Structure 1
Amino acid sequence: MTAQIHVPSLLSRAGAVSALTLAAVGGTLLAPGAAPEAQAATSYANTALNVAASKKGSPYRYGATGPSRFDCSGLTLYSYKKAGKTLPRTAQQQYNKTRHISAAGRQKGDLVFFHSGGRVYHVGIYAGNNKIWHSPKTGSWVKLDKIWSSKISYGRVR
């Protein structure tokens, strides 16, 4: 993999740009095999998001981790497993394992944790536009919903 980011056209007479010049103008070097943390995180987060979306309509079942039935943390566990990442089983354990991020720093594919009385009771995958993919409750199914609470936090899977 090569990390490629826009670099301004400031070439020296020899036709090359030094690392110091790039840093001064806010550019970056192409480094084979290198990917910034956010870019790497985005790759598997987008995969997990797409996996969750592909499960639309799958029925909720308490304790289920797929592939055809899910509870909330079962859906996130399954989606991230398909993306090559390991998560613990419950929403609280997933909260404890992720890197907590601000709402301003959230990205598609980050986990959204719902809190009540000091504990995490629900988790979904952020889909953008204040919406999540989740498996909400008995009698329901995997779906895209608007975030309904202000008592939430965000976590990024490492």
Structure 2
Amino acid sequence: MKKVTALLMGLVLLLAFQAGSAFADSKLNGFIDGVIGTPYKSGGTSSKGFDCSGFTSYVFTKMGIELPRTSVAQSKAGTKVDKTDLIPGDLVFFDTVGGNNSSVSHVGIYIGDGKFAHSSSSRGVVTDKLNSSYYETRFVTARRVMNDESFEAFANEK
């Protein structure tokens, strides 16, 4: 019975990872998929290890878009976007230091279908749901740093 359960769990995981993000055929997704699993590294800005803003800066640099280095500075870039109006490529910001006082301490990239990619201090580069019990209560704001041309070139499906 344990073997059957393990086999079924493996199959479920395989199918879950095959599904990909809501924009699986985009260039942006390719940049993100290429670093999923990269370990967390405080101050990290390369595929050897990322912190959250190092991850977002790395991905956007691949698209020729310069972002400020820190999550706080990134939260002031671009144009503010309502959570209900998110599109793939928007930056999403959170208060993860525990105060829930709307101060920004974490950033990720919205990938569609209610999910975002980020560099978690405990799990490295992963995807999570915006409405998870942890992140929903810590959401602070979102910013759009791509213009329509960049969206069409990188985040829209091919």
TM-score range, shorter chain: 0.5 to 0.7
2:128 is aligned, of 140, 145, 152, to 145
Structure 1 equivalent of residue 114 of structure 2: 130
Q: Which has the larger radius of gyration?
A: 1
Structure 2 equivalent of residue 61 of structure 1: 41
Identity rate, percent: 36
Whether the aligned pair in 1 keeps the contact of 2:102 and 2:140 (CA below 8 Å) is no
Deviation at 1:49, TM superposition (A): 4.1
* TM-score between both structures, scaled by the size of structure 1: 0.65
Unaligned 5+ runs, structure 2: 1-25, 147-158
Please give the alpha-carbon distance, in whole angstroms, between the structure 2 residues aligned to 1:78 and 1:153: 21
Unaligned 5+ runs, structure 1: 1-45
Structure 2 equivalent of residue 156 of structure 1: 144
* TM-score between both structures, scaled by the size of structure 2: 0.65
Deviation at 1:48, TM superposition (A): 3.8
How many residues are treated as equivalent by the alignment?
112
Deviation at 1:118, TM superposition (A): 3.3
Deviation at 1:152, TM superposition (A): 3.1
> Over aligned residue pairs, what C-alpha RMSD do you find?
1.6
The one of the two structures with greater contact order (alpha-carbon pairs below 8 A, sep at least 6) is: 2
Please give the alpha-carbon distance, in whole angstroms, between the structure 1 residues aligned to 2:72 and 2:28: 19
The structure with the greater share of residues assigned to helix is: 2
